[in-house]
């Protein structure tokens, strides 16, 4: 669940940052894809940290 939330948040963050820089549709899609990957990795590490703490 944390990974999915991280992916959603990363995708929204990437799309928003590309839109703020004036990117076209392809730019926004690429930034969103990178954000999804980054958010998924952050969510994965958070999930591992939570599992190890209990």
Write out pLDDT tens, residues 1-50.
999 999 999 999 999 999 999 999 999 999 999 999 999 999 999 999 99
pLDDT bin (cut points 50, 70, 90) of residue 54 is confident
Please check whether residue 18 is in contact with residue 32, taking contact to mean a CB–CB distance below 8 angstroms: yes
d(CA 29, CA 2): 22
Confidence (pLDDT) at 53: 92
Instruction: Show the tokens assigned to 27.
Output: 């730019």
Confidence (pLDDT) at 10: 97
């Amino acid at each position: 669940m944390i990974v999915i939330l991280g992916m959603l948040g990363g995708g929204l963050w990437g799309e928003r940052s590309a839109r703020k820089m004036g990117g076209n549709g392809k730019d926004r899609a690429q930034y969103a894809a990178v954000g999804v990957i980054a958010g998924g990795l952050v969510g994965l590490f958070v999930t591992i940290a939570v599992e190890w703490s209990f």
